[in-house]
């Protein structure tokens, strides 16, 4: 494990160099770039330095966006499947054309290593490509009728306005995955990006406009952490909204579902997890270590599908831990995401780093042993950490970490009984 750029990364000058049209700092409502009464800062989590100030939209702007989306819905749903398909394909082409600049935005506002940011843009664009093709395939069906004088036809129709609330860990892909499907079906959307990463969402809006997506079909209302509850309430309670789609924490998801219940909105929730990584005595150790490295340290452990707890059978435990430790030393490089050798960027903010520190401290106080890392570095950087002698009563076994912490339980019995 190498820390090549720390603490230098905190003091070195890193410049966000992207083409001017893609660095948008206003909200996007009804095809217009709109300012709010105030702004909020967007920080580079690797340095803590401000990289932009973005319009801090509130309930009024959110309501304007919903109204614009509702108005646009009546014309957008009348577009043919082919027309919607062509526009989505143009949007996809523009993402591909500007992938380098879009990746830089992700790296500077989320801390993700550039290599992963480029992969995210490819992933993000793929959703637009997929749904541009699927837009033409929204088929209905004919169902045999029990009565001779009747026919039963099934028609698929767009739901209406969709509120899209997205996380910071995939600030581009989580938008296109939701929005691509909605627009292909004939729905219109209002996007509320995470307060840490609004720049990627606004860049997508710029490219949507360039692609010819009509005014009001795609709206973005960025806001600060302080205004998020009020904006979220509008997006989940306004009677003109038919659907909400949210990716984030289970706690927040529950709140959004409660707010959406009064108007019985359709809801899709991708919430927190506590994924186990299980290694049996019969496993190929090298493959198990490779899998553990990939599933734990992608985006510094900040993905919804990161393994959170590692259960290793006693017969293979020592070999697994030895090889895992060597792999961490050889493969992990901590630093600013724009540095070509970096594999581990910072966590999204200091609160995220403090949560990992708390879990490590709790585990050590209960008897865990730190084999690698274990320390918080400058700012929101955290050393990739390997823990042994872990037990089920520790916080890291009960809560999703969302950080580069790999806790291993040694099992002396069959793992088939774990749940």
Residues forming the active site:
270, 304
Q: How far apart are CA 162 and CA 33, in angstroms?
A: 20
309 backbone dihedrals φ, ψ, rounded to 5°: -140, 135
What radius of gyration, in Å, describes the C-alpha atoms of the chain? 23
Cα dihedral 166, 83, 74, 33 sign: positive
> CA-CA distance, 372 to 383, in Å (whole number)?
8
State how far the Cα of 270 lies from the Cα of 73, in Å rounded to an integer: 25
Which residues, at least 6 apart from 251, have a Cβ–Cβ distance to it below 8 Å? none
DSSP, collapsed to helix, strand or coil, labels residue 406 as: strand
Query: Pairing mode, if any, of strands 241-247 and 218-220?
Result: unpaired
Interacting residues of 32 by C-beta distance below 8 A, sequence separation 6+: 215
Alpha helix ranges (H) inside 98-197:
99-110, 114-134, 173-185
> For residues 207 and 82, is the Cβ–Cβ distance under 8 A?
no
Contact partners, residue 5, CB within 8 Å, separation at least 6:
12, 334, 335, 336, 339, 342
């Amino acid at each position: 494990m190498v820390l090549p750029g720390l603490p230098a990364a905190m003091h070195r000058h890193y410049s966000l160099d992207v083409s001017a049209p893609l660095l948008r700092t206003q909200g996007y409502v009804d095809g217009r770039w709109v300012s709010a009464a105030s702004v909020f800062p967007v920080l580079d989590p690797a340095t803590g330095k401000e990289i932009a100030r973005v319009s801090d939209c509130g309930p009024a702007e959110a309501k304007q966006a919903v109204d614009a989306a509702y108005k646009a819905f009546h014309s957008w749903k009348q577009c043919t499947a082919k027309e919607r398909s062509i526009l989505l394909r143009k949007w996809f082409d523009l993402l591909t054309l500007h992938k380098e600049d879009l990746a830089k935005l992700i790296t500077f506002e989320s801390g993700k290593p550039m290599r992963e940011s480029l992969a995210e843009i490819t992933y993000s664009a793929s959703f637009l490509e997929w749904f541009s093709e699927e837009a033409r395939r929204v088929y209905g069906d004919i169902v045999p009728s029990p009565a001779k004088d009747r026919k039963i036809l099934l028609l698929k129709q767009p739901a209406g306005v969709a509120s899209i609330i997205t996380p910071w860990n995939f600030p581009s892909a989580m938008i296109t995955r939701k929005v691509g499907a909605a627009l292909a079906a004939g729905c219109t959307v209002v996007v509320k990006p995470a307060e840490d990463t609004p720049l990627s969402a606004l860049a997508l809006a710029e490219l949507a406009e360039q692609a010819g997506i009509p005014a009001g079909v795609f709206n973005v209302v960025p806001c600060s952490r302080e205004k998020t509850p009020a904006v979220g309430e509008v997006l989940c309670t306004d009677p003109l909204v038919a659907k909400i789609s949210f990716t984030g924490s289970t706690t927040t998801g529950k709140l959004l579902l409660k707010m959406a219940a009064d108007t019985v909105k359709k809801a899709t929730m991708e919430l927190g997890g506590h994924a186990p990584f299980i290694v049996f005595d019969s496993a190929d150790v090298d493959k198990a270590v490779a899998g553990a490295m990939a599933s734990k340290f992608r985006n510094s452990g900040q993905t919804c599908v990161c393994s959170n707890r590692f259960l290793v059978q006693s017969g293979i435990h020592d070999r697994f831990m030895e090889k895992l430790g060597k792999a961490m030393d050889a493969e992990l490089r901590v630093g600013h995401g724009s540095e070509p050798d970096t594999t581990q960027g910072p966590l999204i903010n200091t609160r995220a780093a403090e949560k990992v520190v708390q879990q490590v401290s709790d585990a050590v106080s209960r008897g865990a042993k730190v084999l690698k890392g274990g320390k918080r570095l400058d700012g929101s950087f955290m050393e990739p950490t390997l823990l042994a002698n872990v037990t089920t009563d520790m916080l890291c076994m009960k809560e999703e970490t969302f950080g580069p912490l790999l806790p291993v339980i040694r099992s002396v019995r069959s793992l088939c009984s774990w749940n």
